[in-house]
Chain A
Amino acid sequence: MSTHTLRAKRRRSALRTVAFLSPWLIGFGVFFAYPLVSTVYFSLMKYDGFGTPVFRGLGNWAYVFNDYPLFWPALRNTLWLVLVMVTCRVVFGLGIGLLITKIKTGTGVFRTLFYLPYLAPPVAATLAFVFLLNPGTGPVNSVLDGLGLPTPGWFTDPAWSKPALTALALWGVGDLMVIFMAALLDVPKEQYEAAELDGTSAWQRFRFVTLPNISPIVMFAVVTGVIQTMQYYTQPLVAGKVASGIIGGSGQQFEPGYPDKSTLTLPQLVYNLGFQRFDYGSACVVALVLFALAMAFTALLMRRRGGLMQAGD
């Protein structure tokens, strides 16, 4: 084959690749690369959406870190959610996954029941939980009261609002259950049989056979859990709005985080700064903090052995 036709062939194959990728190449440019660069630009500008942006240097950064009253509470809440909510979800998801692999009668029914809440639309699920955990008349406190137990204020008490959100997150643990279930069923049976012959206890088999086998999946669940926490927006915002009772038609007056900033998360700050205070520059500063955090954990996920980047052929 002459070099000429070879080159033509290569060019055709490159063109073909670009053609197949073209929707995403455009999407990447217009809906990812351009807005990211633009976010960096606006983070250095004073801009309220009208007139022209004015250069402000690092003024927005100084404002967000030093003077914006919601930033540090939101960051603290994020840390709490990462430590408590993500941990609870992974442990509970693993527990439910283990349970479903042990259930021998009616497995399909149990699996469906355990999975369904994961599908409940977040706004609907949050409304349902604000009602269920209504301090005065909600069913949960009615039952707790009937049993002579204390009745917390849940979504109306700063000390209980994040635990209430955690309960909501545990209710929707179906995604993790399915992932853990698949991983548990993949553990080689022979390893259990060998361990059983050695006279090990059930806990030892879990600790020395199950856990090492599924540890990459546990790691995956933790890291994606952290990334999801960076995106945690709808549930805390809706819970705060509904529990506070401040939801008018426009909703512009609601300061997120009710009660007492306890449900603030970083994405809510972007909304608060950009669309309630019309301080686009400072909103972009928070957006970049969020970006750095999300990408750091995404990099962690991609470096995982045999991870998401499994090579093609």
Chain B
Amino acid sequence: MTQVLDKPVQLGNPTVAERTARRRALLEWIAIHSLGIAAALFFTLPFVFVVLTSLMSDQQALTRDLVPDTWEWGNYTKVFDTPGFLTWWKNTLIYAGLGTVLTVVSSVPVAYALAKFRFRGRNLSLMLVISMMMLPPQVIIIPMYLFWAKQLDLSGTLWPLIIPMAFGDAFSIFLLRQFLMTIPNEYLDAARVDGCGELRTLLRVVLPMAKPGIAAVALFQFFYAWNDYFGPQIYASENPGAWTLSYGLESFKGAHHTDWNLTMAATVLVMAPVILVFFFAQKAFVEGVTLTGVKG
């Protein structure tokens, strides 16, 4: 961003009008940035209070104090020592990692066909993809649960959540399709003229150009699985060995009902990876948000 407020440059005597304009610009700058700081406090203070409380002693966390008397870094080791916490980490990484890979692999060809093939029923397919994307997961949960639990006997595991990701995820298909639409057809035609079949065109020409879109989809899907509460609640609640962090966190609060310090430390540990990943992949993320919203 360029600096708009230039330092007043004294070239001869500024007229009264110029001086008023400058003063107004300065006042506007101060007003805007004060608002900005107020907003920044609103967005950051919750994080600050959570971190501060996570470092208090269990007694102090129950008081109105805002800053720890003694900094109890040991709270974090205590969280890791909680039975199950490491298992939840492992399960979350499997769910999010495997789910993301399956989603990307299965969604890319579908999105490519929807963006670049001409066929009858393409608009209908796209409408159905959008409908699936907007469908609250609770709408179909009863038959899905009966299918996975009664017919396939997979309740108590995360497989009912992972396996469907091998069959395309509507949101990912939609986002990728939006991204692939922005790739000019000339590139595809050139590859076809060179004798590439559609699969080779997709792998050699389109995929390298679609990297930002794929990165955005992978991130969204990883975070979706990381944050998912309803899925593990339905399929994994009966078996603590299959819990994920988002699901286990709530029961952590249950087991430590008065220990707000430990609960907040666990909260920090669930939030931190997401925020770290964001810092490394900020651009892809923001691109994904705008792509689904504005360019749609």
Residues of A at under 8 Å CB distance from B? Answer: 13-14, 16-17, 19-21, 23-24, 26-28, 30-32, 34-36, 38-39, 42, 49, 96, 99-100, 102-105, 107-108, 110, 112-117, 119-125, 127-129, 131-132, 137, 139, 142, 171, 175, 178-179, 182-183, 186, 217, 220-221, 224, 227, 230-231, 233-234, 238, 241-242, 245, 247-251, 266-267, 270-271, 274-275, 280, 283-284, 287-288, 290-291, 294-295, 297-298, 301-302, 307-313
Contact = CB atoms under 8 A, between A and B. Distances in A.
B134 A274 contact: no
Given A16-B198, A302-B127, A171 B140 contact: no
Interface of B: 1-5, 29, 32-33, 35-36, 39-40, 42-44, 46-47, 49-50, 53, 62-64, 66, 106-107, 109-110, 112-119, 122-123, 125-132, 134-147, 150, 164, 166-168, 173-174, 181, 185, 198, 223, 226-227, 229-230, 233-234, 237, 240, 245-247, 249-251, 253-254, 257, 260, 263-264, 267, 270-271, 274-275, 278, 282, 286, 289-290, 293-294, 296
Given A20-B112, A128-B50, A313 B230 contact: no
B140 A247 contact: no
A297 B254 CA distance: 37
5 contacts: A107-B1, A127-B249, A132-B49, A175-B293, A271-B138
Given A247-B254, A251-B251, 18 more contacts: A19-B109, A20-B112, A24-B106, A24-B107, A32-B135, A35-B140, A38-B143, A110-B36, A131-B50, A132-B46, A175-B289, A220-B293, A234-B229, A241-B250, A242-B253, A271-B141, A312-B115, A312-B181
A39 to B, nearest CB: 6
A139 B40 contact: no
Find the residue from B29, B147, B250, B260 having the highest chain A CB count within 10 A: B250
B27 to A, nearest CB: 13
A122 B150 CA distance: 30
Nearest to A128: B50
Find the residue from B1, B63, B114, B138 having the highest chain A CB count within 10 A: B138
A13 B120 CA distance: 12
Contact of A121 (B4, B46, B112, B270): B270
A123 B43 contact: no
Contacts of A107: 1
A186 B266 CA distance: 42
Contacts of A99: 32, 35-36, 39
A58 B250 CA distance: 37
A129 B46 contact: yes
A127 B181 contact: no
A284 B117 contact: no
Given A42-B143, A308-B130, A123 B250 contact: yes
A139 B139 contact: no
A128 B266 CA distance: 11
Contact of A139 (B66, B240, B249): B66
B270 A137 contact: no
Find the residue from A120, A175, A275 having the highest chain B CB count within 10 A: A120
A270 B122 CA distance: 33
A127 B141 contact: no
A173 B62 CA distance: 30
